[in-house]
Structure formats: C-alpha cells, structure tokens
Structure 1
C-alpha cells in the first residue's frame, strides 16, 4: 500500500475518531485529521505486530479498526496534553 493510500486511510480514520469522540479540540479539525493520520500509522503498525490488523500492505476490517483505535488514543492523549 502506498503512502498516499495510508494518508487517505488515516484521513477517514481521523474523521471517524472525531465523530466517535466529539468535542472542542484545542487545535481544531485539521489537527484532528492529522492526529487521525498518525493514529492510522500507529494503529496499523501495532495491529500488524500483534496480528490483529492484518498485513501492513492490505486494507481489511481489522486494519481499519486498529487505525480508528490508534486515532482515538492519539486524540485522547492530545486533548490531555493540551488541557494541562
């Protein structure tokens, strides 16, 4: 999977993470999307290591769920850091 598809995949995961965890973000919607992209990378990497997310080079439901979970975790951590 190319880098562009990972970015699009992360963009979708970030939008879904923002929908699951609504609220006023300190950085706004663009930062939330960037966190979603980073969360997709982190979630996809962790999912491939643990075997939950499928292989790194494929789209699957497992890799999509791990990308969303990664985005949610990073969004939560971002909110905690910006609140402090």
Structure 2
C-alpha cells in the first residue's frame, strides 16, 4: 500500500513542480511521477538536513516532507532546463 501512495504523491509533487517551472505541457503522467520521486531523492540529499525532516521516499508523509520533496523536484527541473535550454526559466 505504501508503494501506491508513494507513486500517487510523487506524481502530484512532480505535477506541481512542472506547473511552477512551466514544463507541464512537455511532461506526461509517467514523467511527472519520475520527477516527483527523483526530486524527492534530491531533496532528501540536499534539503532534508537543512529542514530537519525526511522525504516521501523515507515513508514520511508529513507536510514538511512533502514540501522538501517538492523543492527537490523544482531543483531537478531547474537542472534539466539548464542542460536542455542553456538557461533556467
């Protein structure tokens, strides 16, 4: 059951991050899920120690962990945009 919740929450986080970064038209459902989950890993590695919380990948489904996962997904999309276009939008 946690796996399904992880996929759904990762998809929502990826979708919200793509809306913020204006890449929503380029991404589908699968890419939103991947961005949400990989962004949560990135957020856990970079941002979780700063905020003192976990991420959705650590089975911590609190508001602070979702925020850190969201920020990680936004950072991931910034990095992708930087390499794809040569500038961050």
Q: TM-score, normalised by structure 2?
A: 0.68
In the TM superposition, 1:18-57 aligns within 5 A as: 18-23=18-23, 28-30=26-28, 32-33=31-32, 34-44=34-44, 46=46, 47=48, 50=49, 52-54=52-54, 56-57=58-59
What residue ranges of structure 1 are gaps of 5+ in the alignment? Answer: none
Number of equivalences? 80
Change in 2 beyond 3 A, CA 1:32/1:22? farther
* SS across alignment from 2:75: helix
Alignment partners' CA distance in 1, 2:24 and 2:8: 23
2:78 aligned to 62, 76, 79, which one?
76
Q: TM-score, normalised by structure 1?
A: 0.71
Change in 2 beyond 3 A, CA 1:16/1:57? same
Q: Are residue 8 (structure 1) and residue 8 (structure 2) matched? A: yes
Change in 2 beyond 3 A, CA 1:72/1:22? same
C-alpha RMSD of the superposition: 2.7
Q: CA offsets per residue over residues 9-53 of structure 1, 9 Å max, x none?
A: 21111111122222577xx21275122221023324552xx2632
Alignment partners' CA distance in 1, 2:41 and 2:75: 12
